[in-house]
Amino acid sequence: MTDTAPTTRRDHLVRRARTSDVHAIQSLVEPLVQKRILLGKDLVVFYESVQEFLVVEDADGVLIGCGALHVMWEDLGEVRTLAVAEEWLHHGVGHAILDHIEIAARNLGLSRLFCLTFETAFFERHGFTAIGEDIVPPHVYAELLRSGDEGIAEFLDLSRVKPNTLGNTRMLKVL
């Protein structure tokens, strides 16, 4: 992810993730995996993608939120694994993460952000709108099929990920 300067509010700090954050990221995500809101990931997957993550620390340095930006194509990125500790919901943590992800997306030259979510109202407040399935041309779809990434499989709406994504809404924002 493109470097963005950490920003601080009185009660929290947004910064790029480090490898030392991976266990805390997995702990933030796990309750949402148990509720079938997010897909579970092996620890190695978090390490492999740590450079895509932003994290939020509270005033005591405890991780209270995370989110990732995954580049999917030349103009398209995906917001992934956006999670906030339950006690920090409705305190602006998710908004701060998403704002920083959008800045990073623009810095990378992306013009569209995709997400697959149950939290439609949250993403709508950030300018995302529900979409159908045809957001990339057929030749790009064919290229994306070559990816082994589960998030790409979700994006492509492949049947092998259907049990994990039933009920999610596909959303897009033009930057």
| Confidence label for 153 from pLDDT (cuts 50, 70 and 90) | low
**Closest to 114 measured CA to CA, from 59, 149, 76, 75:** 76
Which of 19-33, 78-92, 144-158 has the weakest average pLDDT?
144-158
H-helix segments, the chain:
22-34, 43-48, 93-107, 120-125, 138-144, 150-155, 162-165
Backbone angles phi, psi at 135, to 5 degrees: -105, -5
CA–CA gap between residue 60 and residue 58 (Å, rounded): 5
What backbone phi and psi angles, to 5 degrees, belong to 122?
-60, -50
On the question of pLDDT at 158 being above 60, the answer is: no
Question: Domain coordinates of the chain in residue numbers?
Answer: 12-174
The alpha carbon of 26 is separated from its chain's Cα centroid by a whole number of angstroms, namely 14
- Selection from 135, 16, 6 nearest residue 77 by Cα: 135
Of 8-12, 69-73, 86-90, 137-141, which has the strongest mean pLDDT?
86-90
Q: Which of the pair, 4 or 126, is modelled with greater confidence?
A: 126
Q: pLDDT tens-digit profile of 27-76?
A: 999 999 999 888 888 999 999 999 999 999 999 999 999 999 999 888 99
φ, ψ dihedrals at 2, nearest 5°: -60, 140
The CA R_g of the chain, rounded to the nearest whole Å, is: 15
Pick the CATH number of 12-174 from 3.40.50.300, 3.40.630.30, 3.20.20.140, 3.30.450.20: 3.40.630.30
pLDDT category at 160 given cuts 50, 70, 90 is: very low
- Residue 61 is predicted with a pLDDT of 95
**pTM score, whole prediction:** 0.81
